[in-house]
């Protein structure tokens, strides 16, 4: 019997350069996350964090449309 894989968290952003520490939404959660990394969204319109698999999607790009959220 296989365990279902959880869906990664998706964050919609307005800039091509994003940072992730895995716990910025948790109050006092810096100790619970991972080292802060900076990433660039490329022509695909998204980038995934290599530590926590959080996906950052640039608003108004094709991946944004696939999630059902209207683009800008």
Confidence of residue 15 (pLDDT cuts 50, 70, 90): very high
Classify residue 37 by burial, with Cβ atoms within 10 Å: 0-12, 13-18, 19+. Answer: middle
Once rounded to an integer, what is the mean pLDDT over residues 31-57? 93
Total-model pTM: 0.71
CATH number, domain 10-66: 2.60.260.40
Domain ranges of the chain: 10-66
- Using the 8-state DSSP alphabet, how is residue 42 labeled? -
Check: CB of residue 20 under 8 Å from CB of residue 54.
Answer: yes
Once rounded to an integer, what is the mean pLDDT over residues 54-60? 94
Once rounded to an integer, what is the mean pLDDT over residues 33-44? 94
Among 5-9, 40-44, 57-61, where is mean pLDDT lowest? 5-9
55 SS3 class: strand
């Amino acid at each position: 019997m296989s365990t279902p894989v959880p869906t990664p968290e998706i964050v919609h952003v307005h800039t091509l350069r994003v940072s992730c520490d895995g716990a910025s939404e948790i109050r006092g959660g810096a100790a619970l996350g991972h080292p802060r990394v900076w990433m660039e969204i490329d022509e695909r319109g998204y980038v995934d964090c290599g530590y926590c698999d959080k996906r950052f999607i640039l608003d108004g790009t094709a991946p944004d449309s696939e999630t059902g959220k209207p683009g800008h």
